[in-house]
Amino acid sequence: MRDLLLHRPSHDLDFCTSAHPEDFEGILRQWGHDGFWDMGRKFGTLGAMRRRPDGTEVKVEVTTYRSDAYESDSRKPEVTYGRSLEGDLSRRDFTVNAMALRVPDLTFVDPFHGASDLANGVLRTPIDPRRSFDDDPLRMMRAVRFVAQLGFHIEPETAEAITGMTDRISIVSAERVRDELVKMLLSDRPREGVEALTDSGLADVVFPEIPALKLEIDEHHRHKDVFGHTMVVLDRAVALETGDDGPVPAPDLTLRLAALMHDIGKPRTRRFEGGGKVSFHHHDVVGAQMTRKRMKALRFDHHLIHDVSTLVELHLRFHGYVDEPWTDSAVRRYVRDAGPLYERLNRLTRADTTTRNQRKARMFSAAMDDMESRVDALRHDENLAAIRPELDGNEIMGVLGLAPGPVVGRAYRHMLDYRLDSGPVGRENALKELRRWFDEQGRQE
């Protein structure tokens, strides 16, 4: 109903009914000849799908009128069936989601004035917000998510209830909290969502590393407001995403998470130096460790954890290039270490350059352009995506007459370094270098 009033196309239709799943399952199965699912059966929900002649998928979910709530210490809601449409709507999260059309007569049902709130961009609960959030604490996270997705603002009484009940979110499973965070970050306004998450106090519970970026800045020790800087970096990273045919299609969760977390190591590494200066030495390494820990706690998958923490760890890597352009060897190592994250790393690095000094900004941008051009040239001449020694492990053992063991591993690593330093040199030169290195090892022993 909300999307219909916002003139948004939707191929996902939600129905609610007084009938129980066993009463409408047969009808839904017959209609949904291209798909049927019942994972939500215990919550009174069944779903089905069918394809139109043009290939468009239409999905329908039907749910029995419901009245569910969390027990005081439970991570799963207790589900009971309700008796009326109005009662079912009263248990919805917000008034803008508590509207319906009765079928088949198409009577508009809006007992909580959701249409008015929709027109005014207001998020308000159908019932007392304290009761609503006590029944289902995840609704507090949904409020923040809708700020990001719809650009709405949270009505004052509802906002006050969230701030006073943030501890209640701790009973919700990490997976459900994570899913709301992901939807928020993939929205059109992720910055507004993060700011609402922080202002409400929810971030203190579900993502404490973010509000911790609001470092106190006194008159003697001045540095950028890290939280404000992070919000700017997030905005800039989103703006640097590409279309579907580009290397980082929007919306990109990996890049957005990395932008959000790239400086979370700063509070832990802040040191006050002489002359009123402040340092954050190794905040990239510490931040990568913190990123892994927080993402594990939120039950993100291992691949995403690896990618985001790698970007956080590498986000300062390029900065030395501005003062002194790298050798080809250093460029190869940068590409190798970034691996499939190369395009995202460059965008994160560009987004992180928020200086107001226009001369410095131009110098940095020119240096990044130069490095990217050099990478393109090296890619034309070399296979940078799969840099390996020109001799593999079996060849190394054959040439040196070795059995598998640690010496072979050291030889392989040396030949990889030689490849990165020298570029493609050909098999004969690689053999000479391998024998030279092996002879040197023997003399050292």
Q: What is the structure's pLDDT at 379?
A: 78
Question: Which of 329, 326, 194 has its CA nearest to residue 256?
Answer: 194
Q: What is the structure's pLDDT at 68?
A: 54
Distance of alpha carbon 349 from alpha carbon 344, whole angstroms: 9
CATH node for 2-18+65-206:
1.10.110.30
Q: What is the structure's pLDDT at 229?
A: 93
Could you read off the pLDDT of 185-242 as tens digits, one per residue? 999 999 999 999 999 999 999 999 999 999 755 544 455 689 999 999 999 999 999 9
The alpha carbon dihedral of 10, 11, 15, 20 has a sign of negative
β-pairing verdict for 153-154 and 122-123: parallel
Asked if the domains at 2-18+65-206 and 211-386 fall in one CATH topology, the answer is: no
Could you read off the pLDDT of 372-383 as tens digits, one per residue? 999 888 877 666
The answer as to CATH 1.10.8 being correct for domain 211-386 is no
Report helix, strand and coil shares of the chain as percent, to nearest 5.
Answer: 60, 10, 30
How confident is the prediction for the chain on average, in pLDDT? 88
CA–CA distances in Å: residue 194 to residues 94, 133, 300: 20, 20, 18
Q: Can you tell me the mean pLDDT for 319-325?
A: 83
- Out of 78-82, 106-110, 150-154, 194-198, pick the least confident: 78-82
Q: Can you tell me the mean pLDDT for 158-164?
A: 97
Phi, psi of 425, deg, nearest 5: -115, -10
Beta bridge partner(s), residue 122: 153
- Domain range summary for the chain, segments of one domain joined by +: 2-18+65-206, 211-386, 393-444
- Residues whose CB falls within 8 Å of the CB of residue 271, separated by 6 or more in sequence, listed in order: 278, 279, 280, 281
Could you read off the pLDDT of 132-155 as tens digits, one per residue? 999 899 999 999 999 999 999 999
Could you read off the pLDDT of 388-444 as tens digits, one per residue? 777 778 888 888 888 888 888 888 887 787 777 777 777 888 888 888 888 888 655
* Number of CB atoms found within 10 A of residue 245's CB: 6
Classify 210 as helix, strand or coil: coil
- Residues whose CB falls within 8 Å of the CB of residue 81, separated by 6 or more in sequence, listed in order: 20, 44, 64, 65, 66, 67
Angle, helices 226-239/253-261, rounded to nearest 10 degrees: 160
- Would you state the structure tokens that stand for residue 231, as one six-digit string? 């919000």
Distance of alpha carbon 255 from alpha carbon 137, whole angstroms: 29
Could you read off the pLDDT of 26-70 as tens digits, one per residue? 999 999 889 999 988 988 899 999 998 888 889 999 989 876 555
Tell me the pLDDT band of 12, cut-offs 50, 70 and 90.
confident
* pLDDT for 74 beyond 60: no
Tell me the pLDDT band of 181, cut-offs 50, 70 and 90.
very high
* pLDDT for 78 beyond 80: no
How deeply is 441 buried, as exposed, middle or buried, from its count of CB atoms within 10 A (0-12, 13-18, 19+)?
middle
Q: What is the structure's pLDDT at 88?
A: 86
Q: Can you tell me the mean pLDDT for 240-248?
A: 95
Q: What is the structure's pLDDT at 6?
A: 72
Q: What is the structure's pLDDT at 149?
A: 94
Q: What is the structure's pLDDT at 295?
A: 97
Instruction: Specify the length of the chain in residues.
Output: 445
Q: What is the structure's pLDDT at 116?
A: 95
- Would you state the structure tokens that stand for residue 390, as one six-digit string? 């020109």
The percentage of the chain sitting over the pLDDT mark of 70, rounded to a whole number, equals: 91
CB 139 within 8 A of CB 125: yes
- Would you state the structure tokens that stand for residue 327, as one six-digit string? 């050798």
Of residues 377 and 3, the one with the higher pLDDT is 377
Virtual torsion, Cα 185, 190, 192, 195, nearest 10 deg: 50
Distance of alpha carbon 10 from alpha carbon 151, whole angstroms: 19
